[in-house]
Amino acid sequence: MSTHTKEVLQVRPIFDFELMLGLLSEKRLGGRVLEEMADTWERWLPKLHAIKLETGKGRYLALWLDTDVEEEVDAERAKSAEYGYRLSALAQTMIQCAVYQLLPEVEEAGCAPAPQPTALLCDALEAEGLDYQEETHSILPKYSVLTPYPFRGACDICYLRKECPKANGQGGGITSFELGGHTN
């Protein structure tokens, strides 16, 4: 039984085209593609959720897109790998922009640290319909993020610090990330 509190947070991130280009490793996208991405962004905004969880031992921000976004990305990827990849980058961009809106310090730090998965935290996530994945130290749905709230530090407090290439000085070439422990 979970003994946590939650607060639904209002979030409406602005589409950061430059961030998405970086995730795609592209320099430009055509006007039609950009219009499609902007339309999809607006369509997905109501599917974006943000909550602050308090467990008594910690406070956390959980952000996620509904699973039908993941299903849409997967269906489009099956038809066109390129378009599916762009939609995946768009979903990742939306999550990142939402984190930056609620925790601006994360953008400057370059990372939203992963919290230690305590039993209280895992119970709270389960009660909210979010599934903590022990093997990947992530939550499902796929397009999601979980981080301490408010911001208290980056690599120095990250549960994944020992395994992270960025924290170990190897992150110079990393321009993308995958949420939820899945790979493209």
Residue ranges of alpha helices (H) inside the chain are 17-24, 31-44, 67-79, 81-102, 104-109, 119-127
CB atoms within 10 A of CB 109: 15
In eight-state DSSP terms, residue 45 is G
In whole angstroms, give the CA distance from residue 168 to residue 111.
13
In whole angstroms, give the CA distance from residue 147 to residue 62.
7
Average pLDDT over residues 23-30: 88
165 — pLDDT class (breaks 50, 70, 90): low
The pLDDT assigned to 103 comes to 94
The CATH code that applies to domain 5-181 is: 3.40.109
Average pLDDT over residues 82-111: 93
Condensed to tens digits (0 to 9), the pLDDT of residues 32-88 reads: 998 999 999 999 999 999 999 999 889 999 999 999 999 999 999 999 999 999 999
Amino acid code (one letter) for 126: E
What is the pTM assigned to this prediction? 0.84
% residues pLDDT > 70 (the chain): 86
Average pLDDT over residues 101-108: 92
Condensed to tens digits (0 to 9), the pLDDT of residues 4-18 reads: 999 999 999 999 999
In whole angstroms, give the CA distance from residue 140 to residue 142.
5
Half-sphere exposure at residue 88, Cβ-oriented, CA atoms within 13 angstroms:
22
Residue 151: pLDDT over 90: no
